């Protein structure tokens, strides 16, 4: 099943600084829900292990992340392909940084998730709500700096 979410939190930081943080896999990883480990393969390829829960289903996903379409300091795209036993989740995210002021940046994000397997059939009723919450939390945490949770 396909799910679409979007948001545009404001960040009280200069755009260049937000961009730098966006390009820092550890900073992004800290904000991402349930990330247990993050491995940097090269500048645009990362591998993460993340544990998430949807209703009764607990998934431990191995996630391949590819960053593309980089236009500094304005936009980027990110493809996350997660695999767990019996389930697969793919999330395509588009990001745009809008400069609202010298100390204010708006982070526009939109994500399309494709969910397959057990998590779709068991969690379908809960999935939309849970996934929306997780996606929004991800970017709100990122916007807030995400420093609270060390990896």
Partner 1 sequence: MSTLFGSSIKRREDPRLITGKGTFVDDVSLAGMVYAGILRSPYAHAKIKKIDATAARGLSGVLAVYTGADLTDALIPVPCAWNLPNADLKLPPHPHLAVEKVRYVGDGVAMVIAESRAIVRDALDLIDVDYEPLKAVVNPEAALKPGAPVLHADVAGNQAFKWVVAGGDADGAFAKAEVKVALTIKQNRLLPTAMEPRAAVASYNAGTGQLTLWATSQNPHIHRFLCSVMLKLPEHRVRIISPDVGGGFGSKIPAYADEALVAFASMKLGRPVKWTEDRSENYKATIHGRDHVQYVELCGTKAGQITGIRTTVYAGLGAYASTAGPGVPTILHGLMYSGAYTIPNIHGTIYGAYTTTTPVDAYRGAGRPEATYLIERLVDTFARELGADPVEVRRKNFIPQDKFPYTVATGITYDSGNYEGTLDKALGMLDYKGFRAEQAKALKQGRFLGVGVCTYTEICGLGPSQVAGAIGFGGGLYDSAIVRVYPTGMVRVYIGTKPHGQGEETTFAQIVADEFGYPVESVEIVSGDTDNTPQGWGTYGSRTTAVGGTAVKIAAQRVKEKAKKLAAHLLEANERDLEWKDGKFMVRGSPDKAKGFAELALMANVAWNMPAGLEPGLEATAFFDPSNFVYPFGAHLCTVEVDAETGQVKILRYIAVDDCGNVINPMIVDGQVHGGVIQGIGEALQEIAIYDDDGQLLTGTMMDYAVPKASQMPHLELARTVTPSPVNPMGVKGVGETGTIAAAATVVNAVCDALAPLGIRHIDKPLTPATVWAAIQRAKGGAA
CB of 144 to partner 1, least distance (A): 34
| Contact assessment for residue 60 and residue 79, using Cβ atoms and an 8 Å cutoff | no
The site map against partner 1 for 72-91 (x = CB under 8 A) is -----------x-xxxx---
Site size with partner 1, rule: CB under 8 A: 17
Q: Does 8 bind partner 1 (CB under 8 A)?
A: no
Q: Please state, in angstroms and rounded to a whole number, the distance separating the CA atoms of residues 134 and 65.
A: 17
Q: Is 2 in the site for partner 1 (CB under 8 A)?
A: yes
Smallest distance, Å, CB 138 to partner 1? 23
Burial group, residue 93, by CB count within 10 angstroms (0-12, 13-18, 19+): buried
**Tokens found for residue 83:** 């695999």
Q: Does 70 bind partner 1 (CB under 8 A)?
A: no
Among 112, 120, 132, 136, which residue sits at the site for partner 1 (rule: CB under 8 A)?
120
Residue pair 53/59 in contact (Cβ under 8 Å)? The answer is yes
In the complex with partner 1, which residue's Cβ is closer, 97 or 113? 113
**Beta-carbon contacts of residue 135 (< 8 Å; ≥ 6 apart):** 5, 7, 91, 111, 113
- Please say whether the beta carbons of 50 and 34 come within 8 A: yes
Nearest CB to partner 1, comparing residues 9 and 55: 55
Is the Cβ of residue 34 or residue 117 nearer to partner 1 in the bound state?
117
- Which residues sit at the interface with partner 1, rule CB under 8 A? 1-2, 83, 85-88, 114-118, 120-122, 124-125
């Amino acid at each position: 099943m396909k799910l679409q979410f979007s948001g545009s939190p404001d960040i009280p930081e200069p755009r260049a600084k937000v961009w730098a943080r966006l390009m820092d896999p550890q900073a992004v990883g800290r904000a991402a829900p349930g990330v247990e480990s993050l491995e940097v393969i090269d500048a645009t390829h990362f591998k993460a292990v993340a544990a998430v829960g949807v209703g009764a289903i607990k998934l431990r996903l191995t996630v391949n992340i590819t960053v593309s379409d980089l236009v500094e300091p304005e936009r980027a795209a990110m493809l996350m392909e997660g695999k767990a036993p019996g389930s697969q989740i793919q999330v395509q995210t588009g990001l745009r940084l809008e400069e609202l002021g010298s100390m204010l940046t708006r982070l526009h994000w939109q994500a399309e998730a494709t969910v397959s397997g057990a998590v779709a059939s068991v969690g379908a009723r809960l999935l939309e709500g849970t996934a929306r919450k997780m996606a929004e939390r991800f970017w709100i945490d990122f916007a807030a700096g995400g420093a609270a949770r060390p990896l």
